[in-house]
Structure 1
Amino acid sequence: MNNIAINNAYRVHSAPKVFQDKFQHLQKPCPIVDEGDKFEYTHCKLPTNDRNYTYVDPNKVKYFVAQKENALPYINDVLQHSNNEEQVTETLYILDRMIDNGTKGVDKMYPTLSRFNNTKSPNIQTFLAGIYRKTQVPDAFGPLVKMLIQNSINPQPAPFDPNEEIGGAILEYIKCWGNRC
């Protein structure tokens, strides 16, 4: 999951011209990026049959991780409005790295994250389970069990098994219930 590579560039401030009419809510500038800091970031690439990991621009990840709690409103806004699997997966990856870096308050984003509890996307499920594992929000346990059962009954094609991360998150919840992790 930590493998990163560089691909095609795009601006962080707005969607490509093709999408500007459909995604007006995503056209506002990132509040943590100054006007002079117009970075070019590469597109996220989802796993394929040839590689079982996601490519995310390391500069973009580093930038948002460094912002810590200041980046959470922007991350939350993207997750509230995006229906693009690549964008959601990339944002969840960044959020996961932010947790690893000690960012506080991610657990309060559960209402936004819960929007993806019924997803069938193995990519989103994997990162969501990792975030739930680290934040230990009590309300997330049921959706994790539902994902595991859903994937066991009707597995989605993927070059990796999302149930490994989902099952690991469930086990972490069970372990922490008695110990108050």
Structure 2
Amino acid sequence: MVGASLSSSSAFQLVNTATTLSLLGGATIAGEILGGMLILTSPWFKNLSIKQILMVNLLVLLLLFLSFSWHQIAILAMLLFLSSLCIGMLNPKLGSLIFNQIDQNQLATVFGGMVTYFQLGEMLSKLLFSSLVILLTAETVSLIYGGLVLLAFLYLLISTKKD
């Protein structure tokens, strides 16, 4: 989506295309590294639950897709950093949850199945996304994905209230 927007609008660039792509990639990497460090070192971040981090990430993603449709590249870079920060915090917590819940003898089998499942999902979602980008404008695709994120957030909010 970024590539399509960069080629169609110069307003979506920071300095030039290469700088924009580098900034977005750097924001992602920096966010994931910092998130992983914060969850391990900060008592406040350690006490956050998986649901809390996931809810914050879904809100950030919703804002990210809105900023994308509004062509706010600087805000998009900041939100991409925050989303990656949440992902960096989620990874150790999810790994810990899986390691503590699964028998050691079944760990390799379960992990293999999970990796296969996630890679298949990634491939299918990229295929769907690529098809949508070809058929629709980038702004429309970002609004569709923003709607899906909103539905996921509402589902998580409703399921949290039942707990």
TM-score band w.r.t. shorter chain: under 0.3
Q: Which has the larger radius of gyration?
A: 2
Tell me the TM-score normalized by structure 2. Answer: 0.28
Structure with greater helix share of residues: 2
Tell me the TM-score normalized by structure 1. Answer: 0.26
